[in-house]
């Protein structure tokens, strides 16, 4: 099986965010980055499918130079090669453009299976995988928690709301969007890290994959830190003082304890 995994790099979960002057994105200089969480699970799933059914895994990532780190990690864990669509202004792409650029990079390769995460922590469009499927003319399934491949078809367990699930069968090739928790991602081995240095990374630019007439269909006017709507009562002081105040409130104001 030939499997592509779309992996995005996003600001680390506890990175303090500051908005840039143009109010179009955050100040990247301040931040540390990590692999978008479900994308790491998608990579692991791809590696396991390859180990079971043979074939190769290709990591695809669009973003500035810094996303090389995600690519390196993917290669070190066992992906065969990678495609990097280098784009410093990736943050201004709308979801259709983002998916179209990824589609442009993978279309000729005829993958059997393409995996994405279900949502990115930064833009949070929650749709790149589904749009990618539509642009490639492939069937898809979303929020996937289990994958079985059998004779040219794939049977997947899709998460529904409130603890419900559903099995779905699709013909290959197909696109699946992966939910966090589907597996336990591996760590890269020292051997893997060494081997990664010799693996192929194909460098592309936005113009190589995104047709110029693919214009944005939604535009960011500005981004900002939301004003708090709720009047939270913050309890100050040392932990001991704050806790004493809290118990006071819970007893006499909220009348719970």
Ligand X SMILES: Cc1cc2nc3c(=O)[nH]c(=O)nc-3n(C[C@H](O)[C@H](O)[C@H](O)COP(=O)(O)OP(=O)(O)OC[C@H]3O[C@@H](n4cnc5c(N)ncnc54)[C@H](O)[C@@H]3O)c2cc1C
Q: Which residues bind ligand AMP (CB under 6 A)?
A: 6-8, 36, 38-39, 60-63, 90, 95, 98, 116-117, 119-120, 123-129
Closer CB to ligand AMP, 135 or 235, in the complex: 135
Q: How far is the CB of 247 from another protein (least distance, A)?
A: 6
How far are the Cα atoms of 60, 124, 221 from residue 36, in angstroms, in the given order? 13, 10, 25
Interface segment toward another protein; rule CB under 8 A; list 1-9, 65-73, 108-116, 228-236: 228-236
* Peptide bond preceding 221 in cis form (omega within 30 of 0): no
d(CA 132, CA 210): 13
**What beta strand segments (E) does 12-135 contain?**
33-35, 56-63, 81-86, 113-117
Nearest by Cα to 97 from 17, 229, 216, 204: 216
d(CA 3, CA 18): 37
Q: How far is the CB of 191 from another protein (least distance, A)?
A: 26
d(CA 85, CA 60): 8
Report if residue 239 touches another protein, rule: CB under 8 A.
yes
Closer CB to another protein, 201 or 223, in the complex: 223
Other Cβ atoms closer than 10 A to 226: 5
Report if residue 227 touches ligand X, rule: CB under 6 A.
no
19, interface contact from ligand X, ligand AMP, another protein, none, CB < 5-8 Å by kind: another protein
d(CA 24, CA 80): 35
Mask 6-25, x = binds ligand X (CB under 6 A)?
Answer: -------xx-----------
Report if residue 150 touches another protein, rule: CB under 8 A.
no
Please classify residue 193 by burial: count the beta carbons closer than 10 Å to its beta carbon, then call 0-12 exposed, 13-18 middle and 19+ buried: middle
Q: How far is the CB of 196 from ligand AMP (least distance, A)?
A: 18
Q: Give, as ranges, the residues between 84 and 143 that touch another protein (CB under 8 A).
A: 94-97, 99, 118, 121-127, 130-131, 133-135, 139-143
- Rounded to 5 degrees, φ, ψ at 69 are -65, -45
d(CA 255, CA 257): 6
d(CA 96, CA 212): 13
Report if residue 149 touches another protein, rule: CB under 8 A.
no
Closer CB to ligand AMP, 61 or 78, in the complex: 61
Q: Give, as ranges, the residues between 6 and 65 that touch another protein (CB under 8 A).
A: 11, 13-14, 17, 19, 26
Closer CB to ligand X, 34 or 134, in the complex: 34
92, interface contact from ligand X, another protein, ligand AMP, none, CB < 5-8 Å by kind: none
Binding site for ligand X (CB under 6 A): 13-14, 118-119, 143
């Amino acid at each position: 099986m030939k499997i592509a995994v779309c992996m995005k790099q996003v600001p680390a979960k506890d990175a303090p965010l500051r908005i840039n002057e143009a109010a179009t994105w955050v100040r990247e200089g301040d931040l540390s980055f990590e692999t978008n969480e479900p994308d790491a699970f998608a990579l692991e799933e791809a590696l396991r499918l390859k180990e079971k059914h043979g074939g190769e895994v290709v990591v695809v990532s669009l973003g500035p130079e810094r996303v090389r780190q995600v690519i390196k990690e993917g290669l070190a864990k066992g992906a065969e090669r990678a495609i990097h669509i280098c784009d410093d202004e990736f943050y201004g792409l709308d979801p259709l453009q983002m998916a179209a650029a990824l589609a442009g990079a993978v279309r000729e390769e005829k993958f059997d299976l393409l995996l994405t995460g279900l949502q990115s922590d930064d833009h949070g469009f929650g749709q790149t995988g589904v749009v990618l499927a539509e642009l490639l003319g492939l069937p898809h399934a979303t929020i996937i928690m289990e994958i079985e491949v059998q004779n040219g078809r794939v049977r997947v367990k899709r998460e529904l709301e409130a603890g419900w699930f559903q099995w779905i069968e699709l013909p290959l090739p197909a696109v699946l969007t992966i939910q966090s928790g589907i597996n336990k991602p591996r760590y890269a081995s020292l051997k893997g890290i060494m081997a990664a240095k010799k693996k192929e990374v194909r460098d592309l630019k936005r113009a190589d994959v995104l047709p110029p007439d693919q214009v944005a269909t939604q535009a960011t006017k500005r981004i900002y830190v939301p004003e708090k709507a709720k009047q939270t009562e913050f309890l100050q002081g040392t932990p001991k003082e704050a806790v004493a105040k809290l118990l006071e409130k819970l007893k006499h104001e909220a009348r719970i304890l």
